[in-house]
């Protein structure tokens, strides 16, 4: 029996592949490589000393996906594939709706056809919108503020409807807070194509000398130092959360959402300060105006994942900075090096 990972060559996908291989799973990856490189999977296999099956395949191409289901006995699917830039989703909403939602529908139809009803889905804390309370619990009202977030919300709703219509389905919706860091080997990490909008890849690019200065978006938030507060979570912790969720869906039925976060918030300035300390590099920054659409404070209540999955984050902000830096300094141009 195999586990299929859609989008398995990406940042979170590749780290999850590695954890699953190390746990002894047989894995199959389907990725169209639109925002990832096959090199990540080569390195995953090097680190683990184990091999995986890779298909360069697009979820929107139903015929291209079929052989995967014919050639492997798939037990469950971990579904990462999708577009993920908030900014791009505002400019190209139809592309986002089509890729993320139609892609998921095709995947689920293929799964149904082959009688596979176990799914772990990459959702996002972005669907809490401007949450009224922190720490954020899973039963907070959901609200998307941009097309990207709306695709995640709509897909969660689709899975809920599916689970009502067919109680044989077993689905875990994993709501990620702010994934960052890299594998401690420094061999795999985040390698965004195009423009960087997330803070850590931007920071490491400034530290490595490829970019000049970090713009800190907003110094007047109602937080201790005025900058935005987020729940940064190490990608290896996040990947392990997927292993736990997979173990749960394989043995149960029904649908549940889980926050994957540390439960601790750090401000942008605390992040920069920690990064400078850990990397030994100084990171020039300037405080500029707020970025439209940003919330002041977001961090998880991760209790449910601990109670029901037996998972909690173990790595701290120093680990995230040290590992992100090791990855970036060893691979200044990412996988293109
Ligand atoms: C963003 C997405 C979110 C997505 C998540 C994935 C937005 C509005 N939200 O979350 O939907 O799920 O990434 O990782 O894009 N910051 C700076 N300077 C920068 C970049 C960021 O000061 O150059 C600040 C932001 O204002 C924020 C914090 O750093 O306070 C984190 O930002 P970012 O890494 O972009 O993540 P989010 O905006 O939280």
The Å distance, Cα 197 to ligand 1 centre, comes to 7
**Separation CA 110–CA 167 (nearest Å):** 18
Q: What is the pLDDT of residue 337?
A: 73
Number of domains in the chain: 1
The Å distance, Cα 207 to ligand 1 centre, comes to 18
Residue 54 class from Cβ within 10 Å (0-12 exposed, 13-18 middle, 19+ buried)?
buried
Q: Does residue 148 sit within a domain? A: yes
Helix (H) or strand (E) segment spanning residue 175: strand 170-176
3-class secondary structure per residue, 264-284: CCEEHHHHHHHHHHHHCCCCC
Does residue 148 have an active-site annotation? yes
φ and ψ of 222, to 5 deg:
-75, 60
82: CATH: 3.40.50.720
Q: Does residue 219 sit within a domain? A: no
Residue among 25, 96, 148, 258 flagged as catalytic: 148
Q: What is the pLDDT of residue 193?
A: 79
Q: Does residue 158 sit within a domain? A: yes
Q: Which atom of ligand 1 is nearest to the CA of 87?
A: 15
Q: Does residue 152 sit within a domain? A: yes
Residue nearest to atom 13 of ligand 1 (CA): 198
Residue nearest to atom 16 of ligand 1 (CA): 199
Provide residues with CB under 6 Å of ligand 1. 86, 124, 126, 149, 178-179, 197-199, 202, 214-217, 228, 230, 268, 291, 293-294
Q: Which atom of ligand 1 is nearest to the CA of 228?
A: 30
Residue nearest to atom 4 of ligand 1 (CA): 126
Q: What is the mean pLDDT of each run of 10 residues along the chain (337 residues)?
A: 98 98 98 97 98 98 98 98 95 98 98 98 97 96 96 98 98 98 98 86 93 97 98 98 98 98 98 98 97 95 98 98 97 90
Domain that holds residue 137: 2-183+232-263+302-314
Residue nearest to atom 20 of ligand 1 (CA): 199
Q: Does residue 94 sit within a domain? A: yes
Q: What is the pLDDT of residue 195?
A: 74
Look up the pTM and report it: 0.98
Q: Does residue 283 sit within a domain? A: no
Q: Does residue 71 sit within a domain? A: yes
Contact assessment for residue 255 and residue 160, using Cβ atoms and an 8 Å cutoff: yes
Structure tokens at 31: 């990725």
Q: Does residue 216 sit within a domain? A: no
Q: Which atom of ligand 1 is nearest to the CA of 176?
A: 12
The Å distance, Cα 190 to ligand 1 centre, comes to 15
Q: What is the pLDDT of residue 90?
A: 95
Residue nearest to atom 30 of ligand 1 (CA): 228
Residue nearest to atom 5 of ligand 1 (CA): 178
Short-list 4, 132, 145, CA closest to 70: 4
Q: What is the pLDDT of residue 154?
A: 98
Q: Which atom of ligand 1 is nearest to the CA of 298?
A: 39
Q: Which atom of ligand 1 is nearest to the CA of 125?
A: 12
Beta bridge pairs of residue 215: 286
């Amino acid at each position: 029996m195999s586990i299929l990972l859609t989008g398995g060559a990406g940042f979170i996908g590749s780290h999850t592949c590695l954890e699953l291989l190390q746990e002894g799973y047989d894995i199959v990856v389907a990725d169209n490589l639109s925002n990832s490189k096959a090199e990540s999977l080569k390195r995953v296999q090097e680190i683990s000393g184990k091999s995986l099956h890779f298909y360069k395949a697009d979820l929107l191409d139903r015929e291209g996906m079929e052989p995967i289901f014919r050639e492997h006995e798939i037990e469950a699917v971990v579904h990462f594939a999708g577009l993920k830039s908030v900014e791009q989703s505002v400019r190209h909403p139809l592309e986002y709706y089509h890729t993320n939602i139609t892609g998921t529908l095709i995947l689920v139809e293929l799964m149904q056809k082959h009688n596979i009803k176990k799914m772990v889905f990459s959702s996002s804390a972005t669907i809490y919108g401007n949450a009224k309370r922190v720490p954020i619990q899973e039963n907070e009202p959901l609200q998307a503020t941009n097309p990207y977030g709306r695709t995640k919300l709509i897909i969660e709703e689709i899975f809920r409807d599916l689970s009502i219509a067919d109680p044989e389905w077993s689905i875990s919706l994993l709501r990620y807070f702010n994934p960052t860091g890299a594998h401690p080997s420094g061999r795999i990490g985040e390698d965004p194509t195009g423009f960087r909008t997330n803070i850590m890849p931007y920071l490491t690019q400034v530290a490595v000398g490829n970019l000049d200065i970090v713009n800190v978006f907003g110094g007047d938030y109602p937080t201790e130092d005025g900058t935005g507060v987020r729940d940064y979570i190490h990608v290896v912790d996040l990947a392990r959360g997927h292993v736990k969720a997979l173990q749960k869906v394989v043995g149960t039925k029904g649908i549940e959402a889980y926050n994957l976060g540390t439960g601790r918030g750090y401000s942008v300035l605390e992040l920069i300060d920690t990064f400078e300390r850990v990397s030994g590099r100084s990171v020039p920054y300037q405080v500029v105006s707020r970025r439209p659409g940003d919330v002041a404070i977001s961090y998880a209540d991760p209790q449910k994942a601990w109670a029901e999955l037996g998972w909690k984050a173990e790595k701290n902000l120093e680990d995230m900075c040290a590992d992100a830096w090791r990855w970036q300094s060893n691979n200044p141009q990412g996988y293109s090096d």
